[in-house]
Amino acid sequence: MPTRDAAETTPDDTLPWYVAPLPTRLEDLALRLAWVIAAINVAGTVFGFWYYRIQLADTPLAAWIFVPDSPMATLFIAASLVAYKLDWDADWLHALAFFGCLKLGLWTPFVQLVVNGQGALWWGMYWFLVLSHFGMAVEAFIVHRYATFSVPAVGVALAWYGINDLLDYFLGVLGGPHHTLLRAELGAEAPHALYAHDIAAACAVALTMLATYLALATHIHATEHRR
């Protein structure tokens, strides 16, 4: 089966730094190691579902897909890299991967460092969560090398993560909200009335908006360059 190579994916030097912040050499290396990175993300997905096992046990089955946001993001980027290597036309998947890795890759470290703190969590697990999620944010910025971020594709990603924000923080549907439990909410009588909940919600919505802007900015700059 034919596969694509990093050499076939030419970097667009006209893109502004804020949509393509990684050095070209790092992008090229990541694309050459796409299979390895995809496998690492699959392993991260499996670990993530295990990590969420307690919260999933208290969640209705119909809402499970909305709870493990980070494992879903690593699943999206793994599938996106496989689609890239096999030259599949899946721009909607690439957009989901970009949104998910950027959003959860920044949201989780922010919440852990600013809202949660280490608490009773083992320090090794705490820093693993922080640093591995930062890695997700970094890998989000290799997607532009093979994705077009078409408006329909960005619309799919915005719809998915917009619905996630609504169900995670604002709507009590299917036993929700369904966001990752915050340390301040454990044992609280009205957990979703806490300031910590508001901060986490504001960060999530802001990152969804940021991902939308960056994806569309990438599409617009690339389209103008091709004219």
Give residue 193's pLDDT band: very low, low, confident or very high (50, 70, 90): low
Residue 1 within any structural domain of the chain: no
Say whether pLDDT at 203 is over 70: yes
Give residue 184's pLDDT band: very low, low, confident or very high (50, 70, 90): low
Mean pLDDT, rounded, for 198-219: 96
Residue 215 within any structural domain of the chain: yes
Residue 141 within any structural domain of the chain: yes
Spatial contact of 27 and 84, defined as CB atoms under 8 Å apart: no
Residue 77 within any structural domain of the chain: yes
Spatial contact of 138 and 21, defined as CB atoms under 8 Å apart: no
Mean pLDDT, rounded, for 123-127: 92
Residue 96 within any structural domain of the chain: yes
Give residue 58's pLDDT band: very low, low, confident or very high (50, 70, 90): confident
* 192: CB partners within 8 A, 6+ apart: 169, 177, 185
* 133: CB partners within 8 A, 6+ apart: 70, 104, 105, 106, 107, 108, 109
The three-point CA angle 104-26-69 to 5° equals 15
Say whether pLDDT at 29 is over 60: yes
CB atoms within 10 A of CB 215: 28
Say whether pLDDT at 23 is over 70: yes
Residue 75 within any structural domain of the chain: yes
Give residue 177's pLDDT band: very low, low, confident or very high (50, 70, 90): low
Mean pLDDT, rounded, for 120-143: 94
Q: By residue range, what is the domain housing residue 158?
A: 6-226
If you average pLDDT over every residue of the chain, what do you get?
Answer: 88
Give residue 103's pLDDT band: very low, low, confident or very high (50, 70, 90): very high
Give how many domains the chain has, as a whole number.
1
